[in-house]
Amino acid sequence: MLPKLAIVFMAVLAVGLVSSCSKVEREDLSFGSLKSVELPSPNSIPAEYGRFVGVSSGTAATWPALWFEKPDGTITAVGVNWAGAEMLTRVTVVERR
């Protein structure tokens, strides 16, 4: 069994930890809208989207996003369904300024 001094020490430590807690204020996060445009052709990715820079997981395992970057820094994301051999008809564009 723990000595009384150890129990008192743990109780004082617990009270100290609980009383020192304070609410952390959340930063106001505001979100902007990304541009969504129609894919010019439903079965190809236009060369003007720029060079391929990466792939990320999408909303489902079979729908990854392919990321392209134009020379001016504009990023375009194209959703592709590998299992169904199809692409989303709209793409997301992130402009750089």
Q: What is the pLDDT of residues 62-73, one digit of tens each?
A: 889 999 999 999
Is residue 15 situated within a structural domain?
A: no
Ramachandran area for residue 55 (φ above 0: left; ψ -120 to 50: alpha; else beta): beta
Evaluate if residue 29 carries a pLDDT over 70. no
Is residue 91 situated within a structural domain?
A: yes
Domain hosting residue 62, numbered range: 33-97
Is residue 56 situated within a structural domain?
A: yes
Provide the domain count of the chain.
Answer: 1
Report the predicted TM-score, pTM, of the whole model to 2 decimal places: 0.65
Least confident of 4-8, 21-25, 43-47, 90-94: 21-25
